[in-house]
């Protein structure tokens, strides 16, 4: 990616998003529905950074950052934390740490750019990390009720949902536009 001037996460992810657009018919409106959903969730959180309603028109008319990303597709610099579920302990189980069922990780191999387009998915958010996660637990995508995925860029939502197996590759766009990832829904399928 460096030879092409892709020196930030926005540039690298934008290239992966463009590839997804080309292969699977993803559109700016697809990403717009994700941004609108993110804002709808933020409105419910009194400590969210941005809490004003967002319309599709405002999303589409926002200034372009790097094709296909506009302002509302890009990460807002902030810090955060992660919490896990209680794994069957119930709502009244009281305080204490929630045990984890498994974890996985990985770092994108930026050298993949040298080996050809057939390996481009290795640079997208999630495939390697998701594969690692599922080898470390007896659980699978069908066992997940709530997934709290990194959504700093709207395209990350599509990448993670597909990589984790909640939808087939190229299908997450259909779930986001159908509202199946909106507040009050259980999963993409």
Model confidence over 43-54: pLDDT tens digits? 998 988 888 999
7-21, 26-40, 126-140, range with greatest mean pLDDT: 26-40
pLDDT at 113 over 50: no
Tell me the C-alpha distance between 64 and 31, whole Å.
13
Rounded mean pLDDT of the chain? 75
If one counts every other C-beta atom within 10 angstroms of the C-beta of residue 63, the result is 7
Tell me how far apart the 2 most distant CA atoms of the chain are, in Å: 55
* Of the candidates 104, 76, 75, 77, the residue with the CA atom closest to the CA atom of residue 13: 75
2-75+105-177: what fold? Peroxisomal Thiolase; Chain A, domain 1 (3.40.47)
Lowest mean pLDDT among 67-81, 101-115, 123-137, 141-155: 101-115
8 Å CB contact between 188 and 181 = yes
Domain ranges of the chain: 2-75+105-177
For residue 124, what are its two tokens?
């997208």
| 69 three-class SS | strand
Q: Is the pLDDT of residue 128 over 50?
A: yes
pTM (predicted TM-score): 0.72
Cα 48 to the chain's mean position, in Å? 18
For residues 33-44, average pLDDT: 90
Residue 66 parent element (H or E):
strand 64-66
Query: No. of H helices and E strands in the chain?
Result: 6, 2
**Cα separation, 188 vs 167, whole angstroms:** 7
pLDDT tens for each residue of 156-179: 888 888 888 888 888 888 876 655
Burial of 20 (0-12, 13-18, 19+ CB in 10 A): buried
Q: Please give the pLDDT value at position 115.
A: 39
């Amino acid at each position: 990616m460096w030879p092409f001037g892709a020196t930030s996460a926005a540039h690298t992810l934008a290239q992966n998003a463009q590839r997804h657009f080309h292969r699977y018919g993803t559109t700016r409106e697809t990403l717009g529905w994700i941004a609108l959903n993110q804002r709808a969730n933020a409105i419910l959180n009194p400590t969210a950074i941005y809490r004003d309603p967002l319309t599709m028109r405002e999303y589409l008319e926002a200034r372009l950052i790097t094709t296909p990303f506009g302002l509302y597709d890009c990460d807002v610099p902030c810090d955060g934390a992660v919490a896990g579920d209680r794994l069957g302990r119930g709502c009244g189980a009281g305080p204490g740490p929630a045990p984890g069922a498994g974890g996985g990780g990985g770092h994108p191999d930026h050298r993949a750019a040298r080996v050809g387009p057939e390996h481009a998915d290795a640079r997208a958010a999630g495939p390697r990390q998701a594969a690692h996660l599922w080898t470390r637990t007896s659980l699978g995508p069908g066992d997940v009720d709530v997934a709290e995925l990194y959504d700093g860029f709207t395209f990350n939502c599509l990448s993670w949902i597909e990589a984790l197996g909640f939808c087939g590759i190229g299908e997450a766009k259909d779930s986001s536009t159908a509202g199946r990832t909106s507040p009050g829904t259980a999963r993409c399928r």
